[in-house]
Amino acid sequence: MMSVRHMLTAALLLALSLPALAQETLSYQGSITDAARQPVTASYPFVFSLYADREGGDALWTESYDSVDIVDGSFSVELGSVAPFSEELARNETLFLGIAVNGAPE
């Protein structure tokens, strides 16, 4: 059986620029493959977190989804639609996005 941990080859960190958080939500698309690098079609819980530091630390914002549909390896979410972005986030020049899938580490 395929492990989600194997689907993610490394921690995914994405630098976000300040203007992106002037919006109420932020569209994010990604892709997931299995250990054989084949696209996955499934639904998994996801947790997205924003950090001020590339190495993590305390999350400035977190949003959880009980189930995100992945079709042919692709998924899309609207960050900020479940847990709104705070005005404090816009005070950070750079933010880093951490993603955890199906309870696996970011």
What pTM value is reported for the model? 0.78
Mean pLDDT over 17-22 rounds to 49
**Statement: residue 16 has pLDDT above 60:** no
User: pLDDT by residue (tens digit) across 45-85?
Assistant: 999 999 988 887 899 999 999 999 999 999 999 999 999 98
pLDDT digits (tens, 9 = 90+) for 5-15: 333 333 333 44
In sequence order, the β-bridge partners of residue 43 are 69
